Amino acid sequence: MAKLTSLNDLLIEELKDLYDAEHQLTKALPKMAAAATNPQLKTAFTSHLVETEGHIQRLEQVFSLLGEKASRKTCKAMKGLVEEGSEVIEENADPEVKDAALIGAAQKVEHYEIAGYGTVRTFALTLGNSEVANILQQNLQEEGNADKKLTQIAESRVNERAR
């Protein structure tokens, strides 16, 4: 593990964590989409996969701007969240109930990512790097939008049907 001697060092370590988290999601989202029965939920998962691939590209851009090689540090939190999502997929549940559970699992992921991107964006601002902060803000905004979309799907259809 690298020694952290500055906020910049911490920023780089957190970016490596997020980079790994996003890569883990590119493998989890297709499985969640396949397990979902609600068409809107399937679409939300597949479109968020495209966004996630964009997040990876933006993180690579951030690493480049910081003069760093894009690299991953295992994100243990995402590993656990993905594992929980896998358990939901394997759960013996009515389709509507499984969809509600998938939304819950996905929102846990979104909230983790919102916290992570908010943190690194703030670090970048503190370091005076508004260009990096603006790029990270784009990812943060998309994660927030994904969370809102999942809430809308849950509240408009899925939770009522699961009831």
What CATH number is attached to the domain comprising 31?
A: 1.20.1260.10
pLDDT, residue 2, reads 67
Residue 151, domain member (yes or no): yes
Asked whether residue 1 carries a pLDDT value surpassing 70, the answer given is: no
What average pLDDT does the segment 61-67 reach? 98
User: Of the candidates 29, 28, 4, 27, which has an alpha carbon nearest to the alpha carbon of residue 16?
Assistant: 4
Domain assignment present for residue 131? The answer is: yes
**How many CB atoms are closer than 10 A to CB 120?**
24
Pair 36, 153: CB distance under 8 Å: no
Residue 115: the pLDDT is: 98
Please say whether the beta carbons of 60 and 113 come within 8 A. Answer: no
Q: How far apart are CA 150 and CA 163, in angstroms?
A: 17
79 is a domain residue: yes
Mean pLDDT of 112-127: 98
Residue 1 counted as domain residue = no
pLDDT at res. 158? 95
Give residue 86's pLDDT band: very low, low, confident or very high (50, 70, 90): very high
Contact 114, 60 (CB under 8 A): no
Task: Tell me what the mean pLDDT of segment 19-26 comes to.
Answer: 98
In the numeric block, which tokens belong to residue 96?
């509507």
2 within a domain of the structure (yes/no): no
Q: Is the pLDDT of residue 31 over 70?
A: yes
Q: What is the mean pLDDT of the chain?
A: 96
3 torsion bin: left (phi>0), alpha (psi -120 to 50), beta (else): beta
Average pLDDT over residues 74-99: 95
Kindly state whether residue 25 falls inside one of the protein's structural domains. yes
Question: What is the extent of the structural domain holding 85?
Answer: 7-162
Q: What Rg do the C-alpha atoms of the chain give, in angstroms? A: 17
**154 in a structural domain:** yes
What residue type is 101 in one-letter code?
A
Q: What is the DSSP letter of 157?
A: I
CA distance 99 to 96: 5
Structural domain total, the chain: 1
pLDDT of residue 138: 98
